[in-house]
Amino acid sequence: MALKTEGDFGVVERGEWSYAAAVGVGPLRFGMTVSEVVEAAEVLGPAKVSDCRRQYAVFSQTWKVEVHRHGGDPSAPAVTAYVSQDAGLFAVACDAVQGPQVAYHGLLLVGREMEELESDMIAYAEEHDVQFRYTCEGHAGPDDPGIVMRAQPVGVVLRSRPLFMVPRDGAWTEWDSLPSEED
């Protein structure tokens, strides 16, 4: 299914990816090698691999794989995947404008105005008698340790840019695993 998102930032043919906790998002599975990530991401577009700055000595070598849409803006990756030498793929960030849409129990997570997403999370939690959580930055998101909600400025609006994660080598939680590029 190809979703279109409109707003003050234009229209993008997003596509829709599924998310499975501790398994992966879209065609990307946690634990994949860099070459497996590049091959799986070809459905979206070409990938560029670069080294990540090593923030802590406990982490093994880490690479960033930026995947650009076929025919899209070459400067804005739709998806950024992070792969460590020891743990493999451990994080996938979906760009608020270019990224594929990912839903969590029917709630769309990518490219949403942060205030609107918070209102929807509260309503969902009340309706289904479940919890939601706030990040350290104050962004509402699902009560799933594998989803870290981040905000991306798009014009004058903050839009959602979720990271789908598992803990990487040497880390206890997803928060400890955040790539240096995502701090």
pLDDT, averaged per 10 consecutive residues of the chain (183 residues), comes to 41 82 97 98 94 79 94 83 94 96 95 97 94 92 94 97 91 84 83
Burial 28-56 (b: 16+ CB within 10 A, else e): bbbebebebbbebbeebbebeeeebeeee
pTM score, two decimals?
0.90
What distance in Å separates the CA atoms of residue 58 and residue 151, rounded to the nearest whole number?
Answer: 27
Q: Residue 174's pLDDT is what?
A: 83
11: tokens are 């229209």
CA dihedral of 167, 84, 16, 115, whole degrees rounded to 10: 50
